[in-house]
Chain A
Amino acid sequence: MCLRFLTVMHCFARSAQRRLQSSTQTSTHLHINTQTSTHLHINTQTSTHLHINTQTSTHLHINTQTSTRFAFSIAALINTQAVKRWSGVTGEFDPDQDGRARCRQQRLQQGGALTGWGLWRLNVHRSLKRLKEDGMDVLSSLQLWRADIHLIEGMFGTGILSYFSFLRFLVLLNFIMFLLMFVFVMLPMIITSHSAHNVTYSSSSNVSVCSEYLGSSRQGLVVFHEHITDLLSGTGFLEHTYLFYGYYKLEFIHSHFTYNLPLAYLLATVTYLLLSLVWIVKRSAAGFKRKLIQDEDRFQSFCNKVFAGWDFCITNENAARLKRSSLLYELKMDLEEERIKRKMANRTRGEKCRIYALRAALNLFVMAVLVACFYCIYEATVFSQRKQAEDQKSNFLLELVVEYLPSIVITLANFITPLIFNLIINFEDYSPAFEIRFTLMRCVFMRLASIGVLLFSLWDQITSCRNSGCPCGYNHQLYPCWETHIGQEMYKLVIFDFLIIAAVIIFVEFPRKIIVNYCDCGLVKWWGQQEFAIPQNVLEIVYGQTICWIGTFYCPLLPAINTVKYILVFYLKKVSLVTNCRPATRPFRASSSNFFFLVVLLIGLALASVPVIVSIAEIRSSRACGPFMSYNTSWEVVPRVVSQLPPSLCSFLQALASEAFAVSFFVITCLGMFYVIALAGAHKRVIEHLRDQLAMEGHDKRFLIQKLCQAQQAVYAHSPERRPPRGFRGNRYKAGMYLVEPLVELEMQV
């Protein structure tokens, strides 16, 4: 045991010496008390620290229970560049005045002891580090909304903070998407419209009935409210603008080189989908790693809540009180859940059958509700399309309602179904934590599937013609330019979503606050103040982002609209949060919430890419408008361009797309996956092994302390006048003592 102790101390000393860059005189110093039979000296003169030698600049005291691990951690600390802390540099965790003075002295000595070259290197190193830190400071101060998010963090803690930083991430993502579409698609068209360049307009091979496209621009005297309708639904004067797909009629722009606009359009679409995927996965990687570690040991939830439960950022008295009550609530819930789990494990077979039958019935009911909602959305879409096609001049409001009918139905469904789910889950008798997650999953599914149903019904409308077959591949009578039409539907969804968010904040949350403040009746008190429900808010913005991803192909300016929308939502939500809300009684954990948001966003992205891919690859692009008029499908531009490349490149790209390459790539990916899984298994075993070692360390130390006690008693039995005063933390003799590392100098000075 002693030997192992020795080697550990030795390792530490070596690394300490390396870092301090100093000669041995200023490193650790020690005594070897030859009167005790062991080599460990216990200094009992001072109450807290061990002033062994006042000339040294460092001294250590190590709690025996942590001696070996502590030494390693200090060594690790010292070896990293990040060692700062008085203690980290001096090797001491309990600095006092003298300790700090010694630290300063040591630094001066360091500076003085080095020669010119060493001094210069040290100074350069220090100033580079400082420069880097200043640079990071500047970069972080440039972060969008840093002050606002700081304020929110201080008032409401880190759970709600994660929502707002998620919103900020989406603003940036949308802005980058807008830049992508603007630079590669819009800018060439703007340049050609202002300068004289040779352009080729896209045209379909045979001019037929499919190429007729008048659009719905209004003629004659336009009433004012029709402008509003046009603005809100993207028809009329907005239809033939950069906003929609139909306006991009160019095919080639001839200047120093030939710019192929359809190819650029397609590649920009693919790029923004891939870019979003990569960025989200990168962001969620850190959270995923932590979640894996967390899931490894699900039994650590109590320790997490107790040791890491208090959010030290909270400065508001009110918020502190609420945080306390939420912690109490959480702990009570967890304890109750444990009791329930124990009870569930003791369930009889009859009870189990009854509960499973009940759950099956309720799930069927939920599915029935979902199917009913989807059917309503489908019917509403069909009805709305039909009414729009009839184009009757009616009441202005009625027109708007008809245009927005799918959006209204989707919003209503997304409002009612969470209430139903919350009600049902009470009967299904799950554990509380699982209840929350399951309800959330159902809501996510509902939100994203409703968009899917809307798109499906639109696709159904577009590709079904009244008479036998569609000569153009789509319903050219109703939808001469179907891409613009889908773009309009997506545009309407985005606008309506924003209007609903703003309306709920202004007309529900603010009055609620006023009523709760001034009205004292029982019902109002039960309703209570608004709570910032993070999951619902996150689902809202993920829904908006999914629509944006789907719609950008048909409406290239949609990311810009979405950016502006999210900026406004940020400020609205922030004002509402600060004025109306109280912190949630059920706190949302910061770490798991970040991961949850990104997972839901990924699901949204996956869902959004399906319609885009299907429409690019399968549906006949309209022959009356847009850049893909002369192609069968939008994807066709790629093979055509590839076939025009030089033959070597062409054959190379064709080889990439062949089956042989795909199969071998798949096999290699599988091999890589198996390797990583094996590695993870090996790491798990190493962790178990280290855990056992940690337990053994504790036994070792206890053994050493026993030996120490025996030795001490032997010594003091011989010389009773050397009995140590009991003042120095007398109760620590059995629990732990401060030991010095006397053997270190022995190793170094020899």
Chain B
Amino acid sequence: MGGTSSKLPKDLLSEYQELTFLTKQEILLAHKIFSELQGGENGPYSSRVSMQKILTLPELKANPFRKRLCHVFSTSDMKDGSLNFEDFLDLLSAFSDTATLEIKSHYAFRIFDFDDDGTLDARDLEKLVNCLTGETDDTRLTAEEMRQLISNILEESDIDKDGTVNLSEFQHVISRSPDFVSSFKIVL
């Protein structure tokens, strides 16, 4: 704190290195990008950047889950999806190369849980598929196909047959998905 706006104190840097999955270079780069988003203000580390500004990042601009990402990682009391620097580091750490499968799958579950009720039910899954394929009418699956798809997903992943996918079922499915770790990655 203090000094030029682009300096991250060494002790904080080593602490972040200890507590997240990011390397030193990644933390410094994240700090640089975050400072730019803050508009060059040398605010304390708890100052927040609004969701709109975060969404202008090139890594997130093209991501259909960007709003959900902000909501999941935000620790703001106002639930507006704003992130402070440590939230930002959380996000990057969960999406880094070295983060474990448990962490990634946990956050993936929360991102996909659109109504935040702790399970993925048919409505969540439908919203998820629509996010993936596109929002316009000609890029969606037909109602019949959606029904078939959701019933297939539930058949594959719902072990206790309650019609929803809970976290352990989700993690069970993810652990057998070989592409998950390589696709659940954000690189600055």
Measured CB to CB, the residues of A under 8 A from B are: 63, 65-66, 69-70, 73, 76-77, 82, 84-89, 93-97, 100, 103-104, 107, 126, 130, 133-134, 137, 150, 153-154, 158, 290-291, 293-294, 296-297, 299-300, 302-304, 306-317, 319-321, 324-325, 327-328, 331-332, 335, 338, 589-592, 691, 694-695, 697-699, 702, 729, 731-732, 735-736
Contact of A302 among B21, B58, B134, B152 (CB under 8 A): B152
Q: Is the CB of A331 within 8 A of B182?
A: no
The 7 closest A-B CB pairs, nearest first, are A698-B160, A591-B178, A320-B62, A308-B180, A328-B133, A290-B178, A65-B166
**Cross-chain contact A84 with B93 (CB below 8 angstroms):** yes
Give chain A residues whose Cβ lies under 8 Å from the Cβ of B86: 86, 100
Contact check, B106 vs A93: say whether CB atoms are below 8 A apart. Answer: yes
What are the residues of chain A within 8 A of B17 when measuring CB–CB?
A: 130, 133
Taking CB as reference atom, which chain B residue is nearest A299? B156
Contact with A along B121-152 (1 / 0, CB 8 A): 00001001100111000010100010011001
Residues on the B chain within 8 Å of A76, using CB: 102
A66 contact from B132, B168, B177, B179, Cβ within 8 A? B168
Measured between C-beta atoms, what is the minimum distance from B97 to chain A in Å? Answer: 9
Beta-carbon contact of B179 and A589 below 8 Å: yes
CB distance from B111 to the nearest CB of A (A): 10
Q: Are A300 and B156 in contact (CB under 8 A)?
A: yes
Contacts of B63 in A (CB 8 A): 310, 312, 314, 320
A-B contact pairs, 7 of them (CB 8 A): A65-B119, A84-B21, A85-B99, A89-B19, A320-B62, A697-B168, A736-B117
Question: Which B residues touch A589, using CB under 8 A?
Answer: 179
Question: Are A303 and B173 closer than 8 Å at their CB atoms?
Answer: yes
Are the C-beta atoms of B160 and A695 separated by less than 8 Å?
A: yes
B90 neighbours in A (Cβ, 8 Å)? 85-86, 95
Within 8 A of A (CB), among B17-41: 17-21, 23-25
Instruction: Establish whether residues A316 and B62, one from each chain, have CB atoms under 8 Å apart when the complex forms.
Output: yes
A308: chain B residues within 8 A (beta carbon): 174, 177, 179-180, 183-184
Q: Is B46 an interface residue (CB 8 A)?
A: yes
Question: Could you tell me which B residues sit within 8 Å of A by CB distance?
Answer: 14-15, 17-21, 23-25, 46, 58-59, 61-65, 75, 86, 90, 93-95, 98-100, 102-103, 106, 108, 112, 116-119, 125, 128-129, 132-134, 139, 141, 145, 148-149, 152-153, 155-157, 159-162, 164, 166-174, 176-180, 182-187
Write the chain B residue with the least CB distance to A697. B168
Task: Report the minimal beta-carbon distance from A339 to chain B, rounded to whole angstroms.
Answer: 8
The reply to whether B23 and A133 contact each other, CB–CB distance below 8 Å, is yes
Tell whether, in the assembled complex, residue B183 and residue A158 are in contact, meaning their CB atoms are under 8 Å apart: yes
Residue of A nearest to B174 (CB): A307
Residues of A within 8 A of B117 (CB): 729, 731-732, 735-736
In the complex, the answer to whether A300 meets B177 with C-beta atoms within 8 Å is yes
Distance, CA A85 to CA B102, complexed state (A): 11
Please pick, from A103, A592, A698, the residue contacting B159 in the complex, using a CB distance under 8 A: A698
B167 touches A65 (CB 8 A): yes
A-B contacts, CB under 8 A, total: 217
Residue of B nearest to A339 (CB): B148
**Which residue on chain A has the smallest CB distance to residue B94?**
A85
Our pick among A85, A290, A309 for the contact of B20 (Cβ within 8 Å) is A85
User: Contact at B173–A591, with CB atoms within 8 Å?
Assistant: no
Q: Which of A134, A315, A702, A731 has the most CB of B within 10 A?
A: A315
Please, which residues of chain B bring their CB within 8 A of the CB of A302?
149, 152-153, 156
Chain B nearest CB, measured from A127 CB (Å): 10
Neighbouring A residues of B185 by C-beta, 8 Å:
312-313
Q: Is the CB of A63 within 8 A of B118?
A: yes
Write the chain A residue with the least CB distance to B97. A140
Check B183 against A324 for contact (C-beta < 8 Å). no
Chain B hits for A290, CB < 8 A: 178
User: Chain A: which residue is nearest B120 at the CB level?
Assistant: A307
Residues of A within 8 A of B174 (CB): 307-308
Contacts of A154 in B (CB 8 A): 187
CB-defined contacts of B162 to chain A, threshold 8 Å: 698, 702
Bound CA–CA A107/B17 (angstroms): 13
Q: Which residues of A contact B94 (CB under 8 A)?
A: 85
Question: Which residue of A has the minimal Cβ distance to B116?
Answer: A729
CA distance A327 to B149 in the complex (A): 13
Contact in complex: A331, B93 (CB < 8 Å): no
Cβ A313 vs Cβ B180 within 8 A: no
A321, B45: Cα distance in complex, Å: 36
Cα distance A735–B14 in the bound complex, in angstroms: 41
- Cβ-closest chain A residue relative to B101: A73
Q: Tell me which residues across on chain B come within 8 A of A134, comparing CB atoms.
A: 24
Nearest to B155 among chain A residues (CB) is A299
In the complex, which residues of chain B have a beta carbon less than 8 angstroms from the beta carbon of A87? Answer: 103
Chain A residues contacting B179 (CB-CB under 8 Å) are 158, 304, 308, 589-591
Most central of A103, A137, A306, A332 by chain B CB within 10 Å: A306
- Complex alpha-carbon distance, A308 and B134, angstroms: 16
Neighbour of B62 across the interface among A319, A335, A590, CB < 8 A: A319
Measured between alpha carbons, how far is A107 from B20 in the docked complex, in Å? 14
Q: From B129, which residue of chain A is reached at the shortest CB distance?
A: A306
In whole angstroms, how far apart are the Cα atoms of A300 and B103 in the complex? 21
A313 to B159, CA, bound (A): 31
On chain A, the residues within 8 Å of B21 by CB distance are 84-85
**Which chain B residue has the least Cβ–Cβ distance from A308?**
B180
Q: A95-B75, A96-B75 are in contact. Are A310 and B65 (CB under 8 A)?
A: yes
Residue of A nearest to B58 (CB): A315
Q: Within the assembled complex, what's the spacing in Å between the Cα atoms of A95 and B18?
A: 16
